[in-house]
Amino acid sequence: MKGYKPRNPERLKRMVALFKQGKTFVEVAKEFGVSHQYVQQVFKKAGIASSDGGNAIRRRMCEQECKYDGCNRLAKTKGYCNKHYQRLRVYGTVTPKRKFVEHDGGCLVDGCTEPFRFGGLCNKHATNFYVNKREGKITDLNDYLKVKKAKALMGKRYAVFTEIRSFMESNKELF
């Protein structure tokens, strides 16, 4: 389609519409009083023809591709393919979450050697986190997490508190 300017875009649009409705090249050609080779050629130039008489193309045109940029799986639900729909359902967004630590054995708080339990933090620090957060004592997450250690944990995957995660996401340069 790139760079190609049909002489009569309106006509091409109508041809494509018929084609999408299931008409063959020959039938489309008849409607417009042209040869089916001509239709084939125009479609080809416009990037919508195929060698198998248009069936594959028709399929692709009729069945929508996943809305996710760069994904060419067929859309199943809400315009997304299965994978991206599941992602949307589970995470509320189709943008891939940055993958954090599986776990290196420790809580995200620097210097803490406890295994993590919740949101990347050990029992104690998770409790602290919530309590302090509620009381407004954690004003600097950077300071609380001691980013250096978090940095060492990046690149693997684990569940982190949404708050910590979004902090990490928006402070990528720190990590």
Range 71-130, binding Zn ion (CB under 5 A): 71, 73, 81, 84, 107, 109, 112, 114, 122, 125
Q: Smaller CB distance to Zn ion: residue 68 or 175? A: 68
Q: What is the 3-state secondary structure (H, E, C) of the chain?
A: CCCCCCCCHHHHHHHHHHHHCCCCHHHHHHHHCCCHHHHHHHHHHCCCCCCCCCHHHHHHHHCCECCCCCCCCECCECCECHHHHHHHHHHCCCCCCCCECCCCCCCCCCCCCCCCCECCECHHHHHHHHHHHHCCCCCCHHHHHCHHHHHHHECCCCCCCHHHHHHHHHCHHHC
What is the smallest separation between the CB atom of 120 and Zn ion, expressed in angstroms? 9
Rounded Cα–Cα distance for residues 87 and 96 (Å)? 8
Is 49 or 88 the residue whose CB approaches Zn ion more closely?
88
Please say which residue, 29 or 121, places its beta carbon nearer to Zn ion: 121
For the CB of residue 171, give the shortest distance to Zn ion in the complex, in Å: 20
CA dihedral sign of residues 25, 48, 50, 61: negative
Instruction: Determine if 145 is a binding residue for Zn ion (CB under 5 A).
Output: no
Report, in Å, the least distance between residue 11 CB and Zn ion.
Answer: 33
Residue position matching structure tokens 């990046």: 154
Task: Please report whether residue 161 would count as binding Zn ion according to CB under 5 A.
Answer: no
Residue 34 engages Zn ion in binding (rule: CB under 5 A) = no
Q: Please identify, among the stretches 25-33, 62-70, 137-145, 162-170, the one whose residues bind Zn ion according to the rule CB under 5 A.
A: 62-70
In the bound state with Zn ion, the residue whose beta carbon lies nearer, of 112 and 138, is: 112
Q: How many chain residues are in contact with Zn ion, going by CB under 5 A? A: 12
Nearer to Zn ion, 16 or 71 (CB): 71
Residues at the interface with Zn ion (CB under 5 A) = 66, 68, 71, 73, 81, 84, 107, 109, 112, 114, 122, 125
